[in-house]
Chains A and B, each alone.
Chain A
Amino acid sequence: MKKLKSMFKIHRIFIAQEFKRMMEYKGDFIVGIIGFLMIQMSNLLFLWIIFSQIPNLLGWTVNEVVFIYGFSLIPKGIDHFFFDNLWAIGHFTVRKGDFDKYLTRPVNTLFHVLVEKIQIDALGEILTGIALVCITIPKLGANLNIFRILIMIVLIPFITLIYTGIKTITASIAFWTKRSGNIIYMFYMVNDFAKYPATIYNRFVQNIITYIIPFALTSYYPALFILRGENSLFNLGLPVLAAVVLMGFGILVWHKGIRAYESAGS
């Protein structure tokens, strides 16, 4: 308990440091905010153009498709916001030997890496996601009761862990190969499939995004329950199970990787 408390404290301090860091370079920060708002607006415009052209998609109404799309952005954005630092592990931290510093501090290395940085850009995904979900919910009608919305909210942290878990596993590969940025990227980008109902893909792709790189579990399957009340055991159980298994496996691979870490000459 005491440990958990000190972990939260460290997390809070790291985030505060990150904000101070951003403020240190005010010009960059302000331009960043402006750029970020422009990107978000163009994204929304683009979505609106696409969805206004498709009245329905294989039996999914526009509102349902937009809900799936919007909901998929929330956990993705949360992971992106808090745990973006894993990319650095894959790209250069291990290769350049900068991982040394984590190993000389009395903090769990994975925890330290995860909470050390935040990615402010990700607020765009989170806000867009929340906006799309909030806009579509009233239009989705009678099926959506408060109970299902609560389930949806409870599910978000688990789904976030699916992203974090997959990134942890792929980033850990760098401990052996020195560099795994492209591997993280390849796996991470599969999540683009998850923004739409999985039934629009062929069986092969469906199986991959359900069981292998299970990004369909991040939005489509939960939506089956939230929107239509279908098969709660499968549609809710599988994402939770996947989150636990992926994150657990990620932690395991990470700690195995540390033993193989070779640092860099100095």
Chain B
Amino acid sequence: MIYVDKLRKEFKKTIKDPGLKGSIKSIFKPKTIKVIAVKDISFEVAEGEILGFIGPNGAGKSTVIKMLTGILTPTSGSCTINGKNPTENRRNYVREIGVVFGQRTQLWWDLPLRETYSVLKEIYEVPDDSYKKRMAFLNEVLDLDSFISSPVRTLSLGQRMRADIAASLLHSPKVLFLDEPTIGLDVVVKDNIRRAIEYINNQEKTTVILTTHDLEDIELLANRIVMIDKGTNVFDGSISELKTKYGQFRELYFETDSPNPVNILNYENHFNFKPDELNIKAEGKTVKLSFNSSIVPVSDMLSYTLGKINVSDISVKDADIEVIIRRMYKHGENL
């Protein structure tokens, strides 16, 4: 479905010395450097898959998405989606994709939302009867009816995002690109949007590529993760693979009556944890810590804790994907 092969994007950047003097100097003697935003990335996505595309800010996620959607022309390498090259046959290609950039909107700002859909209908040449069916379907999934007559500028962020997603789906695209679709939304709206994405993926076998900083999005939606950092691919695989490969981390949670449990236990010194192998959060009586279980086995950790203080409740679980990814963002590929 989607083949990305050694995709690369370089930008020229003008370097200016600080201040007005620097700006004036750069008019006459511009110094440019080459910035490699995306460095020979390759991956594939199968039809009907939901791919979580993640990475820290500035890793090159948006640049990749923009190359895949035909907005940016790659410096080298290629991407083929549905057998089509986005930049060579752009107009033909974009008929088959839907794009949502969470930070921007493609809705007609000053007009009632309904007007946006009627214009997009013409732009994508959707026939009347399929348009009606499609609007009914989108309304059912995204619940647009309550605000479809309101001018777009009056919509809340959550409504606008739902409206934008509906706009990107109007022409029944085969591939849907979502760049941070849940940014700035409350939990209920996030949940709505996730369910809508899942439903559409289920119903229509729409392939979805999703970038987000909300790892819950990834955990609930994505079948697979591609993670990039500094323009290169650092992980490609399923969430469970990510967990088994990098997730020797466990979370230990307990409640205690002892005052200052963290000081009494002093895990760092007792087990010789390195700083990134242990993370402790203590709040009143409850203590939550995540630790690398390949350094200290869970059983040792438990018996040490139980032997040292009085514990009223205790549980151990697999590390949250968030913990893993936080570590990966911090260290790049050298885990």
Q: Interface on A for B, CB 8 Å cutoff?
A: 6, 9-10, 13-14, 17, 20-21, 24-25, 97-98, 100-101, 103-108, 258-263, 265-266
Contact = CB atoms under 8 A, between A and B. Distances in A.
Contacts of B119: 13-14, 17
Contacts, number: 75
B94 A17 contact: no
5 contacts: A105-B94, A106-B92, A106-B94, A106-B95, A261-B72
B71 A263 contact: yes
B129 interface: no
Contacts of A262: 11, 72
Nearest to B72: A263
Given A25-B110, A104-B97, A17 B69 contact: no
Interface string B95-107: 1010101011010
Given A6-B125, A20-B115, A103 B62 contact: no
A10 B71 contact: no
A95 to B, nearest CB: 14
Interface residues of B, number: 34
A20 B124 CA distance: 21
B90 interface: yes
Contact of A266 (B62, B90, B106, B125): B62
Given A104-B99, A261-B71, A263-B66, 5 more contacts: A21-B111, A103-B90, A104-B70, A261-B73, A262-B72
B111 A104 contact: no
Nearest to B119: A13
Given A100-B101, A107-B91, A10 B122 contact: yes
Given A263-B66, A263-B71, A20 B111 contact: yes
Nearest to A100: B71
Most B-side CB within 10 Å, residue of A24, A98, A104, A266: A104
Contacts of B115: 17, 20
A105 B111 CA distance: 19
Nearest to B58: A265
Contacts of A14: 119
A25 B109 CA distance: 12
Nearest to B69: A104
Contacts of A105: 94, 123-124
A24 B70 contact: no
B50 to A, nearest CB: 20
A204 B51 CA distance: 63
B251 interface: no
Nearest to A101: B106
A263 B64 CA distance: 12
A99 to B, nearest CB: 8
Interface string B196-218: 00000000000000000000000
B151 interface: yes
A-B pairs with lowest CB-CB distance, top 5: A266-B103, A259-B73, A104-B99, A103-B71, A21-B110
Contacts of B118: 13
Contacts of B92: 106
B179 interface: yes
Contacts of B235: none
Contacts of B69: 103-104
